[in-house]
Amino acid sequence: MVGLSLSKPIGHGRGVVNDTIFREYDIRGKVGQELIIDQVYDLARAIAYYFKTHNQNVKTIAVGMDGRTHSPAIKEELCRALTDSGINVLFLGICPSPALYFALYTQPIDGGLMITASHNTKEYNGIKVCLGTESVWGKELQIIKQLYKEKKHVDAPRIGTVRNFPIIPLYLDYLREQFADLNSFDQKVIIDCGNGAAGTVLPQLIEQMNWKNITLLYPEVDGTYPNHEADPTVAKNMQEVKRLLQTTDAAFGVGLDGDCDRMAVMKKDGTLIPGDQLLAVFAQYLLKEHPKAGVVFDIKSSLGLTELLEQWGAQPIMSPSGHSIIKDMMRKHNALLGGELSCHFFFKDRSFGYDDGIYAMLRFFEIVQQTGKSPVELITIFPPKYSSPEFRLACPEEKKNLIVERLKEYFFRQKDGRIITIDGIRVTFPFGWGIVRASNTQAVLSMRFESDSKEGLKKVMNRFETALEPDLPHEALRTLQQYKETL
């Protein structure tokens, strides 16, 4: 039985939600400061109005939620608003975001709302919005913001109903059917659920698959995240996995984020594999079945990934970062695979094309089982590069886009690099490349730098530091300088 720890919900009070919660990919903010629970009803009425204006035949919407302490209170307001708008609600229970996406493709429903703030800290919560099988994001969320401000709502002739429909059993059936060959998987693996929604699935999956060598960490769903933040791509959050890898005979580790739409892999030596290298591994094996397939990757990805995809005959497609954008790009180009440095992975060869950390983990297990190779051996395909980690440097929300615009002006004046501005600014010099972009989910600037040589990497970083120095906070600049000193 999966445990659920709920403390008293916070965030009740008068007021209006803050404009900043309407982000690029979802609605998300600090509960009680930016996202006011007493205003969720009006917000959800606006979402219902949006649904009805885009599809007047909308009848049933699925609602799922993660284990955050305020998720039940938000769920109550959402359901009340939807039913008052004449829409029926299929409540999926506590589940991963991918389980809600799975429901969109397999149940007779017209859209979905997932209550989650993904990997953000416990103070945050939010809503991912889907109409049909597609995410509502970007300008469409700004339309919902305006509808909320105008207090738009549907005058319904009848009240909708709420029906409990636990999705986890069906989702488990799907995973078992897809990965029947993994019944014999006997690798020793440490999996960190991070007290997130993975705990609603993995204990049962491990039992049903009869895996004897899996060690599961923190499967108790607990929205206070007592052990670490639910972001496995940050090394400090995988310290217990690292300790067990170094003190036991486990082969590798896996971490899942708060709502299970991302999956990170840790090698035996305790280092994390970057998402672009994992994407290369997935691509190599997918392309054996689907030569020349399109592969979408985000703008932060290594040049080594592009080189490999071209070498293998794939169609490489660079995209702005963001899970909603990647899905859109995959649809547009009929691509079969997508991925991000941040470890979102999207498979459309044998699945539906949404980001699912548990599904991606099972695809990785499949490759390990079929090849007999360790993660370290699998990533030897990747061309040797000197790549920095992704730096996520704190920057005030109101300044981050301004800094990126000033960077663009600076490098356009320099005229000595090839510039891509589909998401922030990526500049390629003869000696390497770098990118700076404003995060769409946090008050940070995201940066990454790469070269074929250590000296080239330092040179790229120097170019960006010079450009950033007038605007970037001193602590952020110092972080870049300290990293250079380790090279």
Distance CA 260, CA 439 (A): 20
CATH of the domain at 429: 3.30.310.50
My answer on whether 361 and 296 are in the same domain is: yes
Rg, the chain, Cα only: 22
426, 431, 434, 453 from 467: Cα distances, Å? 13, 17, 12, 22
Name every residue whose Cβ is closer than 8 Å to that of residue 345 and which is 6 or more positions away in sequence.
263, 275, 278, 279, 282, 337, 338, 339, 355, 356, 357, 360, 363
Give residue 442's pLDDT. Answer: 83
The catalytic residues are 118
**C-beta separation of 342 from 321 below 8 A:** yes
* H helix intervals, 334-470: 357-371, 375-378, 397-414, 454-468
Choosing from 111, 134, 166, the residue where a domain stops is 166
CB half-sphere exposure, 297, CA atoms < 13 A: 26
Determine the longest span between alpha carbons in the chain, in angstroms: 69
Say yes or no: 76 and 216 in one domain: no
Residue 360: CATH number of its domain: 3.40.120.10
Beta strands in 101-231 (DSSP E): 111-115, 124-131, 134-135, 162-164, 189-192, 214-217, 221-222
Residues 130, 191, single domain; the answer is no
What token pair was written down for 366?
């499949």
Whether residue 346 contacts residue 362, with contact meaning beta carbons closer than 8 Å, is answered with no
225 and 207 within one domain: yes
| Per-residue pLDDT at 15 | 64
Match 């209170």 to its residue by tokens.
Answer: 73
Residue-level pLDDT at 441: 80
- Please report the sign of the dihedral spanned by the C-alpha atoms of residue 19, residue 91, residue 60, residue 107: positive
Same domain, 328 and 397: no
Q: How many domains does one find in the chain?
A: 4
Residues 236 and 361 in one domain: no
Cα–Cα distance, 447 to 304 (Å, whole number)? 17
Residues 104 and 327: beta-carbon distance below 8 Å: no
Same domain, 377 and 446: no
3-state secondary structure at position 466: helix
With contact defined as beta carbons under 8 Å apart, do 355 and 343 qualify?
Answer: no
Distance of CA 481 to the CA centre of its chain: 29
Helix axes 202-209, 168-178, angle to 10 degrees: 40
**Do 339 and 424 belong together in one domain?**
no
Both 147 and 182 in a single domain?
no
For residue 264, the SS3 value is strand
The number of helix segments (H) and strand segments (E) in the chain equals: 15, 23
138 and 185 in one domain? no
Q: Along the 487 residues of the chain, how does pLDDT read in single tens digits?
A: 333 333 333 344 456 778 889 999 999 999 999 999 999 999 999 999 999 999 999 999 999 999 999 999 999 999 999 999 999 999 999 999 999 999 999 999 999 999 999 999 999 999 999 999 999 999 999 999 999 999 999 999 999 999 999 999 999 999 999 999 999 999 999 999 999 999 999 999 999 999 999 999 999 999 999 999 999 999 999 999 999 999 999 999 999 999 999 999 999 999 999 999 999 999 999 999 999 999 999 999 999 999 999 999 999 999 999 999 999 999 999 999 999 999 999 999 999 999 999 999 999 999 999 999 999 999 999 999 999 999 999 999 889 999 999 999 999 999 889 999 999 999 999 999 999 999 988 889 999 999 999 999 999 999 999 999 999 988 999 999 999 999 9
Residues 20 and 149 both lie in one domain: yes
Q: What range defines the domain where residue 478 resides?
A: 386-485
Neighbour-count burial of 14, counting CB atoms closer than 10 A to its CB (0-12 exposed, 13-18 middle, 19+ buried)? exposed
Q: Which two tokens stand for residue 122?
A: 């416990």
Q: Which H helix or E strand runs over 136?
A: none
Domain final residue, candidates 363, 381, 399 = 381
Main-chain phi, psi angles of 262, to 5 degrees: -130, 155
Whether 371 and 451 map to the same domain: the answer is no
Amino acid at 103: A
Domain endpoint, select from 266, 283, 315: 266
